[in-house]
Amino acid sequence: MAGQSRKWLILVATTWIQAFTGTNFDFSSYSSDLKTVLEITQVQLNYLSVASDMGKAFGWCSGVSLKYLPLWVVMFMAAIMGLFGYGLQWLVIQRIITLPYFLVFLLSLMAGCGICWFNTVCYVLCIRNFPVNRSLALSLTISFNGVTAAIYTLIANAINPNDDTIYLFLNALVPLFTSGIALVPILCQPPLQSLTTEAIRCDSFIFLCLNILAVITGLYLLLLNSLSSNVSMARILLGGALGLLVLPLCLPGIVYAREWACRNIYPTFCFDNSSFNLIDPDDLELHIELIGSESNGTNGNSYTAIDKCGCFGKVMEKDRLIVLGEEHPARLLVQRWDFWLYYLAYFCGGTLGLVYSNNLGQISQSLGYSSMTSSLVTLYSTSSFFGRLLSAAPDFLRNKMYFARTGWLAVALVPTPIAFFLLASSGSEAVLRAGTGLIGLSSGFVFSAAVSITSELFGPNSAGVNHNILITNIPIGSLLYGLLAALVYDSNAGGSALSRFLGETMVCMGRKCYLQTFILWGCISLFGVVSSFLLFLRTKLAYKHFERNRTRT
């Protein structure tokens, strides 16, 4: 019983870690000040955001470290990286010390690496303590990474709403403080216990309650954050937000009362089977065996039931996945067409949304909405949060409406090109807010769903390595898309009569600063939608086989 309580404390601690360590989302809040202090161009500023994203390319280091070091040590190593990476940048932006551009680039790289290490710690905690409801634990905790910017905006406004440089100070200290709070639950992890059917159903109900509470938290931050410009009001709202984050601590009491909850509340919800998981590891093993027997019954040809439609049909059939959960080592992974379609969908969707958020400071400034930067960052952050929560929809709707997760991915990418073409068509405040919200919602879904999709398509045991290979597209996309935006920005800054100098830095003003960028980004994101749709067509047979065999067994 006590072990059950402790695992929920760990989940709450993991939620706190995610909620306070998504520090890359508030880059736009201080990027203009950093650009002015360093006296750099937009291209050079873009390289700093790329450096932060490049930290994800070193995510494998955290996995290797966990083989030799305790989990809490890796967590504090991540906190120390952020302390130095962001702390020294804060001293630079306060003009207390002076560092060359190259060292600031390395500090951004170190800070980005720390974020990735925090994420790895959270993934491991969820997988170790929730083997049955792993996908729900991951989607819930990952979603809170999207509210970091909104929470930091409340903290910053509660201290000094006129100082944007305070974000760097918060980025340096808050994750370290959060790690100290989360230390006790992590050190007291319970041993893994086999759960009864009743306990699993009770866990499912608790996850439902947690998701409802998460939606309330997101709406609170989204709807009331605009009122935080006043210091006293910001402090009141911050207290409410922290209260919502602490509220899940009542979960141990819910666990102790699980018998009553399952007997009186659970029957009112239609939860079939043991959990909401779309893909369970044991189900995958049985699914592979059944598919193998079916293949033997058809002379090894798994595509005989697929209609061939000329060249397109042949392309769709070539080397397609027919079994979910089959382990793919890295060598086999990069030979799969399905992986590269998946890679392109992520590269032209979620990564593009992340680059947009990195440029929000300059976008709002060029359109004459500099005072709205913090609120736009908050809007993107909370929209990303809701997108991440929506990634759990396939699990909750499993018994009512079955749809391949790759199909959900394709649908989730559709808002991104719509948003970019809207931004290209108008520079109004309403369109800027609507576009930011749509992009945040779409990219948030991709970030969260990708962990489960990688596990389902290419094997749960290889997911750690394979997912790190997948997210190499983030630093590449950050470099290419950001460089494209920066070049267009600087070219228009030099030739526009509306442009002005801020110190030694040229600032571009007007819609032309990002008009071409929005059009090009919109076309690129359309390509991502097409890639995700092709991935869905190629994998829907595997998902259909899995669901049919699951129902049969």
Domain that holds residue 416: 314-552
- Say what the pLDDT of residue 422 is: 94
What tens digit of pLDDT does each residue of 53-100 get?
A: 777 777 667 777 877 888 899 999 999 999 999 999 999 999 898 899
**Tokens 């040809």, residue?**
301
Alpha-carbon distance of 498 to 504, in angstroms, equals 16
Residue 155 is assigned to a structural domain of this protein: yes
Confidence of residue 401 (pLDDT cuts 50, 70, 90): low
Q: What is the CA radius of gyration of the chain?
A: 24
Assess whether 252 and 371 both reside in one domain: no
Alpha carbon distances (Å) from 520 to 24, 101, 227, 423, 517: 24, 29, 35, 12, 5
Residue 56 is assigned to a structural domain of this protein: yes
Assess whether 362 and 452 both reside in one domain: yes
Mean model confidence pLDDT for the chain = 79
pLDDT for residue 220 is more than 60: yes
Query: Where does residue 368 rank: exposed (0-12), middle (13-18), buried (19+ CB within 10 A)?
Result: middle
Assess whether 47 and 112 both reside in one domain: yes
Residue 471 has what DSSP assignment? T
Mean pLDDT for the stretch of residues 417-442:
92
| Number of helical (H) and strand (E) elements in the chain, helices listed first | 27, 2
Q: Pick 350 or 133 by higher pLDDT.
A: 350
Mean pLDDT for the stretch of residues 227-247:
86
- Say what the pLDDT of residue 262 is: 53
Confidence of residue 436 (pLDDT cuts 50, 70, 90): very high
Alpha-carbon distance of 134 to 247, in angstroms, equals 22
Assess whether 255 and 329 both reside in one domain: no
CATH code at 29? 1.20.1250.20
Checking phi first, is residue 287 left (phi over 0); if not, alpha (psi -120 to 50) or beta?
Answer: alpha
Alpha-carbon distance of 537 to 543, in angstroms, equals 11
**Tokens 């890295």, residue?**
330
Alpha-carbon distance of 423 to 518, in angstroms, equals 7
**Amino acid, single-letter form, for residue 439:** I
- Say what the pLDDT of residue 86 is: 93
What tens digit of pLDDT does each residue of 346-395 get?
A: 999 889 998 998 888 888 888 888 878 878 888 888 888 888 888 877 77
Residue 320 has what DSSP assignment? -
**Tokens 């700093």, residue?**
48
Mean pLDDT for the stretch of residues 203-225:
83
Among candidate residues 229, 259, 289, the one where a domain is terminated: 259
- Say what the pLDDT of residue 317 is: 65
For 506, the 3-state DSSP assignment is strand
Domain count, the chain: 2
Alpha-carbon distance of 447 to 22, in angstroms, equals 13
Assess whether 325 and 255 both reside in one domain: no
Q: Pick 500 or 27 by higher pLDDT.
A: 27
Strands (E), 465-522: 500-502, 505-507
Residue 302 is assigned to a structural domain of this protein: no
Assess whether 449 and 344 both reside in one domain: yes
What does the angle CA 28 – CA 443 – CA 108 come to, to the nearest 5 degrees? 40
Mean pLDDT for the stretch of residues 477-492:
86
User: pLDDT > 90: what percent of the chain?
Assistant: 20
Residue 328 is assigned to a structural domain of this protein: yes
For 501, the 3-state DSSP assignment is strand
Residue 506: which residues within 8 A CB-CB, separation 6 or more? 41, 490, 493, 494, 499, 500
**Tokens 């989607």, residue?**
139
What tens digit of pLDDT does each residue of 273-294 get?
A: 444 444 455 555 544 554 444 4
Residue 100: which residues within 8 A CB-CB, separation 6 or more? none
Residue 319 has what DSSP assignment? T
pLDDT for residue 521 is more than 90: yes
- Say what the pLDDT of residue 435 is: 93
Mean pLDDT for the stretch of residues 215-238:
83
Residue 290 is assigned to a structural domain of this protein: no
- Say what the pLDDT of residue 304 is: 41
Q: Pick 80 or 150 by higher pLDDT.
A: 80
Assess whether 394 and 499 both reside in one domain: yes
- Say what the pLDDT of residue 352 is: 92
Residue 293 is assigned to a structural domain of this protein: no
Alpha-carbon distance of 162 to 228, in angstroms, equals 12
pLDDT for residue 518 is more than 90: yes
pLDDT for residue 218 is more than 50: yes
Dihedral sign computed on CA atoms, order 175, 178, 180, 186: negative
Among candidate residues 244, 259, 274, the one where a domain is terminated: 259
Mean pLDDT for the stretch of residues 239-254:
80
Mean pLDDT for the stretch of residues 129-153:
83
Alpha-carbon distance of 240 to 209, in angstroms, equals 19
User: Is the separation of the CB atoms in 229 and 236 below 8 Å?
Assistant: no
Residue 280 is assigned to a structural domain of this protein: no
Alpha-carbon distance of 325 to 542, in angstroms, equals 10
Residue 421: which residues within 8 A CB-CB, separation 6 or more? 518, 519, 522
Residue 26 has what DSSP assignment? G
Assess whether 368 and 485 both reside in one domain: yes
- Say what the pLDDT of residue 192 is: 65
Assess whether 346 and 474 both reside in one domain: yes
Alpha-carbon distance of 204 to 274, in angstroms, equals 8
Assess whether 236 and 334 both reside in one domain: no
Query: Where does residue 232 rank: exposed (0-12), middle (13-18), buried (19+ CB within 10 A)?
Result: exposed
HEC string of 513-538 equals HHHHHHHHHHHHHHHHHHHHHHHHHH
Alpha-carbon distance of 548 to 553, in angstroms, equals 9
Query: Where does residue 140 rank: exposed (0-12), middle (13-18), buried (19+ CB within 10 A)?
Result: buried
User: Is the separation of the CB atoms in 418 and 438 below 8 Å?
Assistant: yes
Helix (H) or strand (E) holding 422: helix 415-425
- Say what the pLDDT of residue 398 is: 66
Confidence of residue 134 (pLDDT cuts 50, 70, 90): confident
Alpha-carbon distance of 56 to 267, in angstroms, equals 44
What tens digit of pLDDT does each residue of 154-193 get?
A: 898 888 888 888 989 999 999 999 999 999 888 877 666 6
Helix (H) or strand (E) holding 206: helix 197-224
User: Is the separation of the CB atoms in 482 and 423 below 8 Å?
Assistant: no
What tens digit of pLDDT does each residue of 289-329 get?
A: 544 444 444 443 444 444 445 555 555 666 677 777 677 77
Among candidate residues 259, 278, 301, the one where a domain is terminated: 259
pLDDT for residue 542 is more than 70: yes
Residue 277 is assigned to a structural domain of this protein: no
